[in-house]
Amino acid sequence: MDSNKRPDSMERITTPALAEAFIAEQVEAIKAQVGDKKVLLALSGGVDSSVVAALLIKAIGKQLTCVHVNHGLLRKGEPEQVVEVFKNQMDANLIYVDAVDRFLDKLAGVDDPETKRKIIGKEFIDVFAEEAGKLEGIEFLAQGTIYPDILESDGVKAHHNVGGLPEDLQFELVEPVKLLYKDEVRVVGKALGLPDNMVYRQPFPGPGLGVRCTGAITRDRLEALRESDAILRDEFAKNGLEGKVWQYFTVVPDYKSTGIKDGKRTFEWPVVIRAVNSIDATSASIEEIPYSLLAVITDRILSEVQGVNRVLYDLSPKPVATIEWE
């Protein structure tokens, strides 16, 4: 039997009871596969890797080592939440790597979008491989591969950078959610006790805020992006749009325009709000945000975010525009 093919008889996991049954079955399967050996996992804090981490912690506890690489392109509060949930609450073996300077130094002055993606991907593998190289006795690598990844690619998580680990760091794979669809992973995550904002998280690209801080990334513009994104998420949550709108974020392009603040002329960045609905990201339509909410978000961004004097709403569907700006 092809272990990468979902059996036709497999029931869709839609309820807590079905999730509990899946968890019990996977805990046994993980124990049988791993025995008393050690497992390594790159834990981004996204739904898939978080659910895999929680499953493995339940199955093998401290035999799992999670590595969380903070590349400086995560959203506000995300690295802290990974530490809080997995280290403090679940008592996992978690290695937190502060690689912010390393990534931002490598990205300094680089404005080509694909080059930026390549640098982020390569640097991630290098940092992860370095951490893996420091550990002894690891025999397994856990991955948050899900069924659409298998259907869409050759079985290696499309955007999962650890797929490209060097030869001497090739381990046997542990992929407990590889036959699940995203909605099932969420049901399992909820049953494992993960927080809602982790389980129902909107899609977030591997290169993170890097593709939303267009052109050459600078620390001050990245900060404006992170803060404006946090305000947008906060207002969407307060107004019942979290979990309803498929993907929403801000973009800070690398150009400036004139404005006026405290009677003085300014020359600052615009913040672009993007909020789209989609089924599978191949096409996307624009969410009709109430004007009054857009006004509140605009006021907050203009008064709370440094270096910004204009807020725009992106009305372009995909196609013709892509969801991300780079």
Question: Whole-angstrom Cα distance, residue 120 to residue 210?
Answer: 8
The interface with ligand XMP within residues 100-139 (CB under 6 A) comprises 117
What residues pair up with 107 in beta bridges, in sequence order? none
Least Cβ distance, residue 153 to ligand XMP (angstroms): 12
Determine, following the binding rule CB under 6 A, whether residue 72 of this chain makes contact with ligand XMP.
Answer: no
Determine, following the binding rule CB under 6 A, whether residue 144 of this chain makes contact with ligand XMP.
Answer: no
Burial (CB count within 10 angstroms: exposed 0-12, middle 13-18, buried 19+), residue 18: middle
Residue found by looking up tokens 């946090």 in the block: 230
The interface with ligand XMP within residues 273-292 (CB under 6 A) comprises 281
Our CA angle for 89, 82, 101, nearest 5°, is 140
Least Cβ distance, residue 203 to ligand XMP (angstroms): 4
Least Cβ distance, residue 191 to ligand XMP (angstroms): 25
Question: Whole-angstrom Cα distance, residue 184 to residue 177?
Answer: 9
Least Cβ distance, residue 68 to ligand XMP (angstroms): 17
- Count of residues in contact with ligand XMP, rule CB under 6 A: 13
The interface with ligand XMP within residues 168-227 (CB under 6 A) comprises 203, 205-207, 211
Binding mask 223-252 for ligand XMP (x = CB under 6 A): ------------------------x-----
Residue found by looking up tokens 């977030």 in the block: 204
Q: Which is nearer to ligand XMP, 58 or 182 (CB)?
A: 182
Least Cβ distance, residue 318 to ligand XMP (angstroms): 5
Pick from 201, 318, 195, 305: which is nearest to 261 by CA? 305
Question: Whole-angstrom Cα distance, residue 204 to residue 78?
Answer: 12
Q: Which is nearer to ligand XMP, 207 or 270 (CB)?
A: 207
Find the helix packing angle between 182-191 and 16-34, rounded to 10°: 90
Q: Which is nearer to ligand XMP, 36 or 114 (CB)?
A: 114
Q: Which is nearer to ligand XMP, 171 or 248 (CB)?
A: 248
Judged by DSSP in three states, 156 sits in coil
What DSSP line would sit under 19-72, residue for residue?
HHHHHHHHHHHHHHHHTT-EEEEE--SSHHHHHHHHHHHHHHGGGEEEEEEE-S
Determine, following the binding rule CB under 6 A, whether residue 49 of this chain makes contact with ligand XMP.
Answer: no
Least Cβ distance, residue 201 to ligand XMP (angstroms): 12
Stretch that binds ligand XMP, among 14-22, 80-88, 253-261, 317-325 (CB under 6 A): 317-325
Q: Which is nearer to ligand XMP, 43 or 211 (CB)?
A: 211
DSSP annotation of 11 reads: P
Q: Which is nearer to ligand XMP, 92 or 144 (CB)?
A: 144
Q: Which is nearer to ligand XMP, 300 or 318 (CB)?
A: 318
Q: Which is nearer to ligand XMP, 72 or 205 (CB)?
A: 205
How many whole angstroms from its chain centre is CA 183?
Answer: 16
Q: Which is nearer to ligand XMP, 18 or 312 (CB)?
A: 312
Question: Whole-angstrom Cα distance, residue 185 to residue 26?
Answer: 13
Least Cβ distance, residue 99 to ligand XMP (angstroms): 18
Question: Whole-angstrom Cα distance, residue 128 to residue 41?
Answer: 10
Binding site for ligand XMP (CB under 6 A): 117, 159, 203, 205-207, 211, 247, 281, 318, 322-324
